[in-house]
Amino acid sequence: MTTPTHMRRVRFGTAPRRGGALALLAGLTAVSGCSSAEPASPKPSTPASPSSSAPARVTPSPDSPEEAAKKQAVAAYESYWAELPKAYAVPAIEGTDLKRYTAAEALAKATAGVANLKTLGQVMTGAPVLADPTITAAELDKKTPNVTISACLDVLPWKVVKKSTGKPAPLPSGRVTKYVVTALVERWSDGWKVLKSTPHGDQPC
C-alpha cells in the first residue's frame, strides 16, 4: 500500500542507539573503578520532537461560474417537481412556490392542471420521484442563459383521487408510470425557471 505523501513528510527524531549507550555506560564504570574522581553522569538523550508543521489541508476548488450555473438550474428543476405536487394536492397554485420556479408554458400547464382537477373534483396525493436530472445542452453565454435537462420520472406514487371520498380515480390500464421527462430551464432576473416540461411516455426509463 502506498503511503500518502503528506504522511511521509512527518519525520520523527531518531531514538538513541541502545548498543552505543550501553557501551558508553560500561566505559564510564570502568574508569570510575581506577579513579577517585566522580564519574560524569551521562546526559540523557532527548528524542527530537516530531515536526510541528501539520500537513497542508487541501481545500476543494470552487465551482467555475458555468458549473455553478448548471447546479442552480438543476436545483430549480428539482424544486419545480417538489412544488407541483403541492399545488395538485389542494388543488391550487396559491400557497406554493410554484411561480418562483416556473414561467411561460410550464406555468400555464400547471395552472390548467389545477383547474382540471377542480372541475373533476379530484386531487393528487403523494408525489412523483425524479431521478438522475442531467443537463444535456447548455447555452450559458446567451443574454438569457438556458439549459436543457433530462431525467427519469416515476409517477406510480402519485395518485389521482376523488376529493370528497379519497377513492382512487380510474386510470388507463397498461399505462407507463416511469418515463423520461425533459425541460427547458432559463435564468431570469429572479432566478432559474422551468419554461417547458415535456413528458415522453414512449420512452420508459
- Calculate the alpha carbon distances from 122 to 30, 92, 114, 117, 160 in Å: 105, 12, 9, 5, 7
Residue 44 has pLDDT above 80, yes or no: no
| Nearest CA-CA partner of 66 in 165, 171, 138, 159 | 138
Residue 28 has pLDDT above 80, yes or no: no
Q: What is the pTM of this model?
A: 0.69
Confidence of residue 175 (pLDDT cuts 50, 70, 90): confident
Residue 61 has pLDDT above 90, yes or no: no
Q: How far apart are CA 71 and CA 60, in angstroms?
A: 16
Cell numbers found for residue 76: 430549480
Average pLDDT over residues 48-69: 66
Q: Look up residue 196 and give its amino acid.
A: K
Confidence of residue 116 (pLDDT cuts 50, 70, 90): very high
Q: What is the largest CA-CA distance in the chain?
A: 117
pLDDT in tens, 89-115: 999 999 999 999 999 999 999 999 999
Residue 174 has pLDDT above 70, yes or no: yes
